[in-house]
Structure 1
Amino acid sequence: MNFELKEFTNIPNCYHSFNVINEEHFEAYCEYLIKEMSYYFNKTLPTGLSILNPNPREDIPEYSYPDTIYLHIEDGLRESQVTYQLAHEMCHYFISTGIKNNNLTYFEETLCDLSSHFFLRNKTTYYLNSSFRDLVEYAPDLTDYSSNALASATEFKLSFSTSYDRYDRNNNKHIVKLLLPIFEKNPSLWSEVPKLANIEASTIGKLLALWKNKATAEHKKAIQEIQNIFK
């Protein structure tokens, strides 16, 4: 598939190609989310990033290192679907090269799922007070969508040696349920997430300990709360 790239109106050197109705609104919404996530992750606005829809390779959203995100959104503007997909892939983008140990990549995947839920819930106030209100699904449904998705997760035992397939969505959702209150209480904790890419660790216990060592003083307590989940 050939994509005709267009520069985002308000993000220089960041590009998109959306095969959707209401492309202008789709672009504006993606711009808002990119700026919001850049703020929370304490990153400058992306340069050279391309966000393309749909994904010509598979019917799934995907981050392709180093600077391409594929979404899979059908015609129309569905903000819950856009948020869920783009927030997940942007989290991978900010972690960049990713968590190094394959046995721990589930934690990156879980954080990216968490990003979907965190920013989905964060949209409620924004949409109740924006020009998008009449164009998209009613805002409180965003939190309901997140809550309903997480409610289906089955609990399992966590420890400092926990390891499983990164795409085990049930296990990921269970951990997301435990992490979400921590991040909602400490939203600036997102700024520590990209540091995970530079850590060599053999277990989740060691990864979290090294992550806490790298974190700024204000975030060490929140990471300790995450460590307590795995004990």
Structure 2
Amino acid sequence: MNDTKILYLFLFFVTHVAFGQAKPHEWMNISGTTIEAKFIRADADTVTLFMNGRNFVVKLSDLKPDSQALARKLSTPETAIRPRPAAKEKKNFPEIRVIKADWGGASLRDIGKVLNSSARQLWSHASQEEFKPIIVDRSRTGPIVLFRRGNEGQYIVRLDTHKTFWSQYAFQFSHEFCHIMCGYKAGDQSNQWFEESLCETASLFAMRRMRKEWEEKPPYPNWKSYAPALEKYAQERLDSHAWRESLTVAEWYDNNKEKLKENPTDREKNTTIASKLLPLFEQCPENWGAVAFINIHKTKDSRSFSTYLADWRRACKLARDKEFVSELARMFGVEKS
């Protein structure tokens, strides 16, 4: 079979013509065939390329790793990113108070150092200007951020860990911190699985970034050697819930949507879909700013997932945040016309 036929087997024809970047790039599929084409766009599953006057959609899984990496890099070109005002020397960093409890001998100061480090990875991208203080207590029934607040509106987070298991502290706190960023509140649980999956993504995102921070500026000099363990903890979680490459996100959602409604905290499913959400935030951390608006329209009334995303998009204030939510709707195959 000649190269031209091979190329058209791994490219899927799209009927409309779009405008891409001026510079063509080399792309190689898994069978070793190389083409030159312009990059148009990419999502978690596919990349759209422009060649011979037409658009073609290619599954990322059909490309060599180097070409997959190129697609992810080009999906957030610097010229397309407008730094959000929140990135200016940011506001007031949230006060995190660890209270006395049975932490297995770990010092409150050390725990606070870990929690501040994990929150810092997310806070710099949040839309909010400030949070009420966060009080951190010990749990023995799983980590949680309570709906009940303190007397002065403080958030109450409970972590189910102890001793010096710093990776557990970081992972659990990042998850609950994400719920606070999402403006969590009571109401319909039909789409709670998605917020849980976002917060699982936040934990993975924070820990991979903490590794870099601790290598360069650890909380204490002698903690620098612990940096690789942070990323290893996140990677082991990803590896234990690996994505099946032949499956698109839309197919996965269609196969699991009823079970997701029934059990929104199914950590296996939360982590599985988090593996597909994570690249969207690692490529463009500003996307975390959009989560502040996810619960604006939440009530006791049940909503379909497509309506949930449409309401979220409507609540977003920045055009880039609206486009991010639209990208998610396309990725899950629930975009409203």
Where on the TM-score scale, by shorter chain, does this alignment land: which range? 0.7 to 0.9
Answer yes or no: is the 8 Å Cα contact 1:150–1:177 preserved in 2.
Answer: yes
Q: Which has the higher helix share?
A: 1
For residues 126 and 95 of structure 2, what CA distance do their matches in structure 1 show? Answer: 19
Q: Which has the higher strand share?
A: 2
- Partner amino acid for 2:118? L
> Mean alpha-carbon deviation: is it higher for 166-175 or for 36-45?
36-45
Matched residue pairs, number? Answer: 218
Answer yes or no: is the 8 Å Cα contact 2:183–2:292 preserved in 1.
Answer: yes
SS of the aligned residue for 1:51 comes to: strand
SS of the aligned residue for 2:99 comes to: strand
Write the deviation string for residues 185-222 of structure 1: whole angstroms up to 9, x where unpaired.
Answer: 12111111121111246111221222223331122333
1:100/1:195 CA distance change after superposition, 3 Å: farther
| 1:90 corresponds to 2:185 | no
1:160/1:197 CA distance change after superposition, 3 Å: farther
| 1:182 corresponds to 2:280 | yes
For residues 286 and 232 of structure 2, what CA distance do their matches in structure 1 show? Answer: 24
- Partner amino acid for 1:167? T
The unaligned stretches of length 5 or more in structure 1 are 1-9
TM-score by length of 1: 0.81
> Mean alpha-carbon deviation: is it higher for 87-96 or for 209-218?
209-218
Aligned residue among 168, 173, 191 for 2:289: 191
Answer yes or no: is the 8 Å Cα contact 2:172–2:203 preserved in 1.
Answer: yes
Answer yes or no: is the 8 Å Cα contact 1:35–1:45 preserved in 2.
Answer: no
- Partner amino acid for 2:312? W
Write the deviation string for residues 65-119 of structure 1: whole angstroms up to 9, x where unpaired.
Answer: 231001122112x332121010001111222333742111111111111111110
1:207/1:29 CA distance change after superposition, 3 Å: same
Answer yes or no: is the 8 Å Cα contact 1:11–1:31 preserved in 2.
Answer: no
- Partner amino acid for 1:230? F
Q: Which has the larger radius of gyration?
A: 2
> Mean alpha-carbon deviation: is it higher for 166-175 or for 14-23?
14-23
Which residue does 2:313 correspond to in 1? 212
Q: Pairwise mapping of residues 1-80 of structure 1 onto structure 2 (< 5 A)? A: 14-18=96-100, 19=103, 20-52=105-137, 54-55=138-139, 58-65=140-147, 66=149, 67-76=155-164, 78-80=165-167
RMSD: 2.7
Answer yes or no: is the 8 Å Cα contact 1:158–1:229 preserved in 2.
Answer: no
TM-score by length of 2: 0.58
For residues 98 and 160 of structure 1, what CA distance do their matches in structure 2 show? Answer: 28
For residues 161 and 256 of structure 2, what CA distance do their matches in structure 1 show? Answer: 37
The unaligned stretches of length 5 or more in structure 2 are 1-91, 150-154, 245-250
Task: Compare relative contact order (CA 8 Å, sep 6+) and give the higher one, 1 or 2.
Answer: 1
For residues 92 and 64 of structure 1, what CA distance do their matches in structure 2 show? Answer: 10
